[in-house]
C-alpha cells in the first residue's frame, strides 16, 4: 500500500468515525436536550452510581467530549499521541459498561441511548458498533505516518474540547432540583365505613350451623364478584384514588412526541367509551412548561403530578422507557405498556384487555 493510499484511507476512516461521533452527540439532544440528556443519564450514568446532583454535570461533559473528539479526528495535531488513543479508550469504556449491563442482567431490551431517541439502538447493537469503530481507529493508528507531534499545540485541542463542553451546557442548562408540584384537579376518594348494627341473639344449635354453612356455600357459588378484590398498587402517594375503580396510571414526559400521541389516543378512547378508566398522569420534571401544550395536543386535561428525573425513572422501572401506560382496577395491574418497541402502547390492545377483564365480572 502506497503512502498516498494510506493517507487517503486514513482520512476517509477519520471522516466516517468523526461523523459517527458528531451525530451521536447531536442525537443525544433529540427530541429535546433536557429529555434526551436525562434519558442518557438514567441509562448510562445512574447504574454506575452517579448521584442526581453529579449526573447532569458529568453527562454534559461526556457528551461535550464526544463532540470534541469527533471534531479533533478531522485534524492531524497530536493525532497518534492523544486523539486516537483517547477516542479508543472512550469507546472501550462504553463497550465494557454496556457488556456488563447487558450480559450481567441477561437482557438486550430497550434503547441504550447512544443515539438518543433519534436512532433507537439496543445494547448489543451499540456494542457491535463500538467494536467496529475501535477496529477502524486501530487501522488508522497503524497506517498513519509517524511524525513529530510533540511540537503540536496541545492547548489548541483543549480549546476545541472545552468549547464543545461549553456548548452542551449552553444548549441544555442544568435545572435546579425543584420540589414536586401539587397534583392538578386531583380527585380524592372518600371512604365511608359501613355502620355496624346490633345483632339479634338467636339460639344456636348444630342444625342451625349446618344450614347456615349450606346457604353460605350456595350464595358463594351463585354470586359472581362485580369487581376484583381491592389491592394496593403502591401509587397512592401520587393519587389517593388510584386504587379505587378503573384507572390508567401514565408516565409521560411533557416534550416527548410518543407520550403526546399516547395521551391523544387515550382521549379518543375516552370519548368513545363512557365507562373508560379515569386517567392519571405522572410527568417527568423536564420542560414542565410544556404541560399545557401537552394537554392541548392530547385534547383533554387530566389530573397529574410532576416528579424529578431519578424518581420518575425508578417509578417507570428498570429496562422500561416512555411512554408508560398501566391499566389498574382496584389497584390490580392488568397490563403495562412502555417504550416504542415491542411493548409500546396500543389503543386496540388496551381496549381488548379492558373488555376481557370486564367479562370476568359481568
300 sits in the region (left: phi over 0; alpha: psi -120 to 50; else beta) called: beta
Distance CA 258, CA 262 (A): 6
Max CA distance (Å), the chain: 111
Cα 270 versus chain centre, distance: 25
What are the CA-CA distances from residue 133 to residues 63, 95, 129, 161, 350 (Å)? 17, 11, 6, 20, 42
Question: Does the pLDDT value for residue 108 go beyond 60?
Answer: no
pLDDT tier, 32 (very low <50, low <70, confident <90, very high otherwise): low
Average pLDDT, the chain: 82
What pLDDT, on the 0 to 100 scale, is given for residue 223?
62
What string of DSSP letters covers 297-357? HHTS---EEEE-HHHHHHHH-TT--SSEEEEEETTEEEEEE-SSSTT---HHHHHHHHHHH
* Residue 52 pLDDT > 50: yes
Least confident residue range of 74-78, 80-84, 216-220, 277-281: 216-220
Q: What's the N-to-C CA distance of the chain in angstroms?
A: 79
Tell me how far CA of residue 150 lies from CA of 92, 93, 181, in angstroms. Answer: 25, 26, 55
Give yes or no for a contact between 60 and 172, defined as CB atoms under 8 angstroms apart.
yes
Q: How confident is the model at residue 175 (pLDDT cuts 50, 70, 90)?
A: low
**Given a cut of 80, is residue 331 above it in pLDDT?**
yes
Give residue for cell 438486550.
Answer: 108
* For range 258-282, the mean pLDDT: 94
Length reported for the chain: 362
**C-alpha cell at position 320:** 422500561
Contact predicate 292/304, CB 8 Å: no
Name the pLDDT band for 217 (thresholds 50, 70, 90): low
Question: What is the CB-side half-sphere exposure of residue 188 using CA atoms within 13 A?
Answer: 3
CA 232 to chain centre: 24
The span from the CA of 43 to the CA of 114, in Å, is: 10
Give the DSSP letter of residue 73.
Answer: T
Cα 295–256–235 angle (5° rounding)?
Answer: 70
| Side-chain-side CA neighbours of residue 206 (13 Å) | 0
In this prediction, residues 44-56 reach a mean pLDDT of: 70
Alpha-carbon distance of 141 to 135, in angstroms, equals 10
Residue 139 pLDDT: 95
Beta-bridge mates of residue 307: 284
Beta bridge partners of 312: none
Q: For residue 6, what is its C-alpha cell? A: 494510506
- Phi, psi values for residue 305, rounded to 5°: -135, 155
CB 306 within 8 A of CB 179: no
Amino acid at each position: 500500500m502506497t503512502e498516498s493510499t494510506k493517507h487517503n484511507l486514513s482520512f476517509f476512516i477519520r471522516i466516517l468515525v468523526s461523523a459517527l461521533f458528531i451525530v451521536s452527540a447531536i442525537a443525544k439532544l433529540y427530541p429535546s436536550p433536557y429529555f434526551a440528556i436525562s434519558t442518557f443519564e438514567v441509562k448510562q450514568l445512574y447504574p454506575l452510581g452517579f448521584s442526581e446532583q453529579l449526573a447532569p454535570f458529568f453527562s454534559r461533559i461526556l457528551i461535550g467530549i464526544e463532540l470534541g473528539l469527533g471534531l479533533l479526528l478531522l485534524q492531524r495535531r497530536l493525532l497518534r499521541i492523544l486523539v486516537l488513543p483517547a477516542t479508543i479508550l472512550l469507546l472501550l469504556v462504553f463497550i465494557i459498561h454496556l457488556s456488563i449491563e447487558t450480559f450481567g442482567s441477561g437482557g438486550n431490551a430497550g434503547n441504550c441511548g447512544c443515539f438518543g431517541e433519534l436512532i433507537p439502538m439496543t445494547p448489543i447493537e451499540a456494542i457491535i458498533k463500538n467494536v467496529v469503530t475501535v477496529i477502524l481507529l486501530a487501522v488508522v493508528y497503524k497506517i498513519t505516518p509517524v511524525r513529530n507531534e510533540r511540537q503540536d499545540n496541545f492547548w489548541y485541542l483543549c480549546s476545541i474540547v472545552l468549547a464543545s463542553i461549553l456548548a452542551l451546557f449552553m444548549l441544555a442548562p442544568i435545572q435546579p432540583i425543584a420540589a414536586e408540584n401539587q397534583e392538578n384537579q386531583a380527585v380524592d376518594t372518600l371512604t365511608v365505613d359501613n355502620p355496624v348494627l346490633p345483632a339479634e341473639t338467636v339460639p344456636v344449635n348444630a342444625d342451625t350451623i349446618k344450614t347456615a354453612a349450606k346457604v353460605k356455600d350456595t350464595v358463594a357459588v351463585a354470586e359472581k364478584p362485580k369487581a376484583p378484590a381491592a389491592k394496593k398498587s403502591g401509587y397512592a402517594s401520587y393519587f389517593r384514588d388510584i386504587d379505587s375503580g378503573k384507572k390508567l396510571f401514565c408516565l409521560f414526559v411533557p416534550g416527548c412526541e410518543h407520550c403526546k400521541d399516547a395521551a391523544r389516543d387515550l382521549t379518543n378512547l375516552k370519548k368513545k367509551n363512557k365507562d373508560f378508566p379515569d386517567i392519571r398522569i405522572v410527568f417527568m420534571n423536564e420542560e414542565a412548561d410544556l404541560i399545557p401544550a401537552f394537554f392541548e395536543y392530547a385534547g383533554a386535561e387530566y389530573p397529574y403530578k410532576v416528579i424529578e428525573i431519578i424518581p420518575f425513572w425508578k417509578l417507570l422501572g428498570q429496562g422500561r422507557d416512555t411512554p408508560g401506560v398501566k391499566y389498574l382496577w382496584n389497584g390490580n395491574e392488568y397490563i403495562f405498556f412502555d417504550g416504542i418497541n415491542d411493548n409500546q402502547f396500543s389503543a386496540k390492545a388496551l381496549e381488548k384487555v379492558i373488555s376481557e377483564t370486564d367479562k370476568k365480572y359481568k
